[in-house]
Amino acid sequence: MAARYYAAGKEAARRTVAEAGIGISDVDVTVAPGTVMFPEDYTQDARESVLRRIPLGREGAPEDIARAVRFLVEEGGYVTGSVITVDGGKELGA
């Protein structure tokens, strides 16, 4: 059930960004992060439950998101109209 809400929320964010033309350049490219840095009050069981749904088996790090943004800024001149998902494969529905 939670995965359904996650997917719906992510799609709503993608549409909002697309409609507003928000991105890191004037060609509308958005970076959509997945699970990055659990809240401090997450129990170990809650963390493990989330990690089981991520094919790479780990939470993301801020550096994972920063690498995607850096690529788009430095070398992504031909990337446009895209949402770059950085979520360890979670969106694939593992």
17 pLDDT band, cuts 50/70/90, is low
Query: What does the alpha-carbon distance between residue 3 and residue 72 come to, in Å, rounded to a whole number?
Result: 28
Domain ranges across the chain: 2-92
CA torsion, ordered 3, 48, 38, 70, to nearest 10 deg: -80
pLDDT at 80: 84
Which of 5, 6, 42, 78 is catalytic? The answer is: 6
Query: What does the alpha-carbon distance between residue 84 and residue 68 come to, in Å, rounded to a whole number?
Result: 8
pLDDT at 49: 95
* Phi-psi sector, 18: left (phi>0), alpha (psi -120 to 50), beta: alpha
Q: Would residue 42 show up in a list of annotated catalytic residues for this protein? A: no
What are 38-94's pLDDT values in tens digits? Answer: 999 999 999 999 999 999 999 999 999 999 999 988 998 888 888 899 999 998 875
pLDDT value at 24 more than 60: no
Q: Per CATH, which fold does 2-92 belong to?
A: Rossmann fold (3.40.50)
pLDDT at 18: 57
